[in-house]
Structure 1
Amino acid sequence: MKLPLACVTAALLVGTGSAQTPDVAREWLHWDGARPDGSLFGGRISIPLVPRTTHRIPAPVTTLFGTYGAAGADNRVDLVMVGDGYTSTEQNQFQQDAAAMAVSFFNHQPFTRYQNYFSVHTVAVVSNESGVDNDPNQGVNKDTALDMAFWCGGTERLLCVSVSKAYSYANNAPDVDQVIALANSSKYGGAGYTGSDLATSSGQNGSSSEVVVHELGHSFGNLADEYDYGGGTNWTGGEVSEPNVSILDATAMASAGTKWSDWLGTNNGNFDGLISTYEGARYYQKGIYRPTNNSLMRALGRPFNLPSVESLLIELYKIVSPIDAASDESVVYNGSEVLFVQPLVLVGGKSLAIQWYLDGAPIAGATGTQLDLVQLGLSPCAHTVQAVVVDPTKWVRDESARSKWMTDTRTFTLDVVGSGSNDCDGNGLADECEIAADPSLDWNGDGVLDSCSPPNYCQANANSSGQAGQMGASGSPVIADNSLILTARFLPTNEFGYFLMSNTQGFVPLFGGSSGNLCLGGQILRFNKAPAGQVLNTGVFGFAALPVDLNVLPGGAVIASGEHWYFQLWFRDKTTSNITDGLDILFR
């Protein structure tokens, strides 16, 4: 659902276009009149906004068109039609009027092609009297549910409504993105509330269906009127915010690269012909331009021009995601599954563009709604799969908008266990994957978690504590991390000792008259002098630890990646000495 905008107050007083209350948020209310040839005249007035109401006045709802109950049902633009001046015996007339409006709406591009993006609902609003205020003449007052009235703000064709009441009834629908308020009248009139996402129209005038689409151009697409009547001769202001009018002529626009510059020179008869800069728009005759000669924002019975179509589609995608449904992103997949993504489908069955990615790279040929992970031949461990869906329509040339609004991504996390992988602790994760993520889980580099296959070797003899001293390590075996801490536990208390290292294993029982077994061979280096180390005290807990700087080792030793080094702690033990078991570390 589109984020709620503010909406207008329930009543609009004559003159609100000129008298404005400071520091009150306002919106533009557009109105139009039609000449016999369909050309439009009109204007706009500024009115106050108030927050959109969440109040609901209970009333029956009918869904004329929609996908509720299906995948992605909440991923639609919800058009809700409410009627005013329809009594309890005239509800069939309201439904007929609403259906005619929906048919007309979907007969205009881009809504024809994107019809599946919408749900259309009607709310049966019952009025005490038939008709609306000031119809057929000023001074006629009717007791109606939504307070609709012609001659709003002193303009005959401006058909206003109590916005708060209109939404109070519209809120009966499953969701609300745009409201269309229909008056039980054949008198020409309508309005487009740009900030309230609301349009009004007579229900039975011969031009009503065209008026509704035009007014939705204002309220849904934030489009300006492209006719040059009602404002004056010369526009003297600066650039305007609406996407389909500009103070720049074609040369200046092409140079600035703004507004519809990407469309200049395009000629499509289905969308009002050649796109250039035609002088006269937004109620002024000079100094302001429109994209084409005579689009629906200038005259009834015409199509939207392509710059307006582009703006309507961008606004559409601000509400709707290109993806209706997809596999659960919260699940960690093991590589045996089939993932899916379900994009919205355009009328005619054409789908949006899909591209699947593996670890950031596009998968060749993977452009369908499903991806069989088995077929990817995934290596063990962690992978990321993404499905990117984009609307590639040629009716949009603003690529930044396409990327921001018309593209959506689903990201899936994989942890693949290979056929030869170990899972020694039975946690469902391959040992090699866990070790790749955290090398300290496998100090000796045997490819098995240390919790299953410890890196210790060469059993130590018991010391005076009654236990055998045991080596350990914390930090990381990655040389670049330089975070190794050697530890030893199960030692006699308050005794002195120091760590030893060698790149060779050995075995000398009761070496040097001690009570322990030396598990090192070759050149044995001692961590008993600064700066490489120091003599340690086992303290009251019978424990020793030494942070090792791999750049400053005893005897100037240098450790290279892929080398095994072996460690022990020698310590005094009352009248003799002892030594822990050995620790095997594969440095990486």
Structure 2
Amino acid sequence: MKNLLLLFVLFLNINYSNAQIFDVESIKFSGDNDKRINLVIISEGYQTTEFTKFKTDATNFLDDLFMQSPFAEYTDYFNAYIIKVPSNESGSDHPGTATDVTEPASPITTADTYFNTSYDSFNIHRLLYTFNTSTINTVLANNFPEYDQAIVLVNSDEYGGSGGVHAFTSTGASANEIAIHELGHSLFDLKDEYYPGDALAAEAINMTQETNTSLVKWKNWIGINGIGIYQYLDGFGTPKPWYRPHETCKMRYLGFDFCAVCTEGIIEKIHDLVSPIDSYAPVSNTVENPSFPIDFSLSLIKPIPNTLETVWTLNASNFANNIDDVSLIETDLVEGTNTLTAVTNDASTLLKVDNHETIHVYTVTWTINYSSLGIEDINSLVNNLSITVYPNPTNDIVNFKFENSNNLDLKIDVVSIDGKTLKSLLVSNYETQQVDISNLSTGIYIANCYANNVLVASKRLVKQ
């Protein structure tokens, strides 16, 4: 879904007459591939006679993954497939060239495998990897180009794995935990919460150099579920100028849960990749000879338990809340153009993002043309919106940034608590606009955001 540029480059260089096609099997199906996050597990070091074991190993990994939060809650956002790539020999190379242990720390072995994976990569004993990543890309392009994340499952009992563009894991002790940890790197951009070394230290969802509790990116979690600002130590116990949110997150130790900050980061990435609106009805002009009542519905990909909230508005007035379908009768409409909009967002308590209801907003709008002769036509439009307000709180200048998939403009009214409109502005798609509120009194204001004259979000704005 997100790998189109990579795949375009690959397709330019692939000779399809020599393309190797392997058996692809679905082992978890939640919905259409273009509306789900597609995990693809590729076999490495499995001979053809071991494909039954490969499927079992892959299924066991998925069972573990979707028993853990937040994957358990968002399981219906994922599909999973396996690609059965045969190797001539079982296992993986273990050359005994690591410098972080006294070699040979395990028996030195070689194996004739499809991707030529090896332990001791980058001189680290447990780092299981291959430099033949182009071969992985080619297999994906030829066999499952709709993938979102690939996981290479290596048929070896030795502990090992790695993250990066693709995740790698062995099948040995803690294999599933390794795979889930590496998935945290590869798909969700999480950092290790043990010190990864100076070259890999960087600002990220769960890593920062900020120590001010009011400014740190996970400030809303401070003091909750063990979240704080904890300093990294290197392998010699020397403090480093980097900080993590938790002491026992899965991104530090296998066998633990993801901390609240990493959990939130995973959910936000899920929302980046997949809209919770799976489908809707009616699609433009699919109702033949419409008569009343007219039914409108959403099919949502619901977390478990469901935390999605939906607000329905008709002609800019609230019509219904938190239901999946509504019916309109004649008296609900005015002559001329009517607008029915459903606005959906995730109100999960696993999220403490400021004004999250405006960060990931998903809308469907139906335009209903009605006259004394009845319904003339019904047109529909789906849109994904992101509205960002920063800094907030502020003393003087506030920035409004707007992004949406349908290139609409956003009208923003800054309103006082007593309902008076104090400022209005129009923000174009992908535009950031500054507004001077230095003349406003200290206090709380509301920024009401309208797309196509429909209220899609309200953000709290604090003037210091």
- The TM-score normalised by the length of structure 1 is 0.56
SS in 2 for 1:416: strand
- Correspondence 1:307 to 2:265: no
SS at match of 1:297: coil
Match among 276, 282, 305 for residue 228 of structure 2: 276
Aligned counterpart for 1:158 among listed residues 121, 127, 136:
127
1:126 and 1:213 mapped to 2: Cα distance?
24
The structure 2 residue matched to 1:325, chosen from 279, 282, 298, is 279
Verify: 1:169 aligned to 2:139, yes or no.
yes
Using the TM superposition, give the Cα deviation of residue 179 of structure 1 relative to its aligned residue in structure 2, in angstroms.
Answer: 0.3
2-structure distance, mates of 1:310, 1:342:
24
CA RMSD, 1 decimal: 2.9
Displacement, 1:158? 1.1
Q: Look up the SS of the partner of 1:215 in the other structure.
A: helix
1:180 match? 151
Q: Which one has a larger percent strand, Structure 1 or Structure 2?
A: 2
1:335 CA displacement: 7.2
Shift of 1:306: 0.8
Alpha-carbon contact 1:85-1:131 (below 8 Å) kept: yes
The structural deviation recorded for 1:392 is 0.9
Q: d(CA) in 2 for partners of 1:191 and 1:52?
A: 24
Deviation, structure 1 residue 330: 3.0
Provide, for residues 479-526 of structure 1, a one-character-per-residue CA deviation record: whole Å limited to 9, x for no partner.
Answer: xxxxxxxxxxxxxxxxxxxxxxxxxxxxxxxxxxxxxxxxxxxxxxxx
Q: Whole-Å Cα distance in 2 between the matches of residues 107 and 341 of structure 1? A: 27
Pairing 1:354–2:325 present? no
SS of residue matched to 1:362: strand
Label 1:73 to 1:182 Cα distance change in 2 as closer, same or farther (>3 A).
closer
- For residue 204 of structure 2, the aligned residue among 232, 242, 251 is 242
* Contact map agreement 1:282 1:288 (CA 8 A) in 2: no
What's 1:369 paired with? 324
Provide the secondary structure at the position in 1 that maps to 2:359. helix
Amino acid at match of 1:385: L
8 Å CA contact retained: 1:246, 1:290: yes
Alpha-carbon shift at residue 80 of structure 1 (Å)? 0.3
CA distance in structure 2 between the aligned counterparts of 1:75 and 1:67, rounded to whole angstroms: 9
Tell whether the 8 Å contact from 1:381 to 1:416 is kept in structure 2 after alignment: yes
Name the CA shift for 1:146/1:400 in 2 (closer, same or farther; >3 Å): farther
Cα distance in 2, alignment partners of residues 95 and 184 from structure 1? 11
The one-letter amino acid paired with 2:35 is N
Distance 2:331 2:246 in 1: 50
Q: Counterpart of 1:90 in structure 2: which amino acid?
A: E
Deviation at 1:135, TM superposition (A): 6.7
Secondary structure of the residue aligned to 1:131 is coil
Q: Tell me if 1:413 matches 2:367.
A: yes
Deviation at 1:402, TM superposition (A): 4.7
The answer to whether the aligner puts 1:119 opposite 2:71 as a matched pair is no
**Which whole-Å CA distance do the structure 2 matches of 1:227 and 1:146 have between them?**
29
Amino acid aligned to 2:217:
K
Q: Report the CA distance between 1:144 and its aligned residue.
A: 1.3
Give CA deviations for 1:455-483 in whole Å, capped at 9, x if unaligned: xxxxxxxxxxxxxxxxxxxxxxxxxxxxx
Query: Once the 2 structures are TM-superposed, how far is the Cα of residue 416 of structure 1 from its aligned partner?
Result: 1.0
> Which of 183, 189, 196 is 1:216 aligned to?
183
How much does 1:67 deviate? Answer: 2.8
CA distance 1:75–1:376, shift in 2 (3 Å): farther
Alignment-mate amino acid for residue 132 of structure 1:
S
- Is the contact made by 2:369 and 2:376 (CA closer than 8 Å) also made in structure 1? no
Task: Return the alpha-carbon distance in structure 2 between the equivalents of residues 366 and 126 of structure 1.
Answer: 52
Q: Which runs of no fewer than 5 residues in structure 2 stay unpaired?
A: 97-105, 378-464
Aligned AA (1:331): N
Asked if 1 retains the 8 angstrom alpha-carbon contact of 2:307 and 2:348, the reply is no
Aligned-residue offset at 1:281: 6.2
Partner of 1:403: 358
Counterpart residue identity of residue 355, structure 1:
V
* Structure 2 match to 1:200: 168
Q: Which amino acid aligns with 2:91?
A: G
1:298-320 deviation line (CA, Å, top 9, x unaligned)? 10100111111111111111111
Structure 1: tracts of 5 or more residues without a match: 8-49, 268-273, 422-426, 430-588
Aligned to 1:105: 65
Identity of aligned residues (%): 27
Letter in 1 for 2:149: Q
- The code of the aligned residue for 1:173 comes to F
Q: Distance in 2 between matches of 1:300 and 1:327?
A: 44
Q: Does 1:343 align with 2:300?
A: yes
Aligned length: 356
> Is contact 1:79-1:179 (8 Å) kept?
yes
* Distance in structure 1 (CA, Å) of the matches to 2:267 and 2:336: 41
List 4+ stretches of structure 1 deviating above 4 A: 3-7, 50-56, 135-139, 281-284, 332-335
